[in-house]
Structure 1
């Protein structure tokens, strides 16, 4: 259920493009999600497991792009990833909807 006052404050949030996705050239860890201080280790561990389970490198890259977006959102609202709740997930979804609309409007010029 969406609370009174939707969209939330996060819906109009400007998320910095901090961190990034680095291509490593390593078959066992082809990409890394990076924050300002280096590799985001929980993400790296998750993707090592995915690769070990036989997932395609392209699948891992796609998931890493999604997680980078999630981490950037969390960094912008100053919530550590391991403290994120359903509320942050909801706000992230709302932000994605608004940010996606803003990006598509910019592309219409």
Structure 2
């Protein structure tokens, strides 16, 4: 059975890699780091736009965690 099908059936656990980090800048106040602790630049660019729309810093944090979950799946599937 291929990995995608196993994922859809809930038979594969997505690895707990990467993290969300609070940074000392205003826009965005949180960033997503990959498994090598490198900043995931496309996520940062999205969070910058979100932060500039005058949302709460906690909204940026919530979106960062959501995007981290998405990227974990992409990394598992080896999608660039």
TM-score surpassing 0.5? yes
Return the structure number with greater helix share: 1
Q: TM-score, normalised by structure 2?
A: 0.82
Q: RMSD of aligned C-alpha atoms? A: 1.2
CA separation in 1, counterparts of 2:25 and 2:12? 35
Q: TM-score, normalised by structure 1?
A: 0.62
- Residue 13 of structure 2 is aligned to residue 9 of structure 1: no
SS of residue in 1 equivalent to 2:24: strand
Structure 1 unaligned residues grouped into runs of 5+: 1-7, 81-109
Shift of 1:44: 0.2
Structure 2 unaligned residues grouped into runs of 5+: none
Runs of 4+ in 1 over 3 A off after TM superposition: none
Shift of 1:29: 2.2
Structure label with greater radius of gyration: 1
Return the structure number with greater strand share: 1
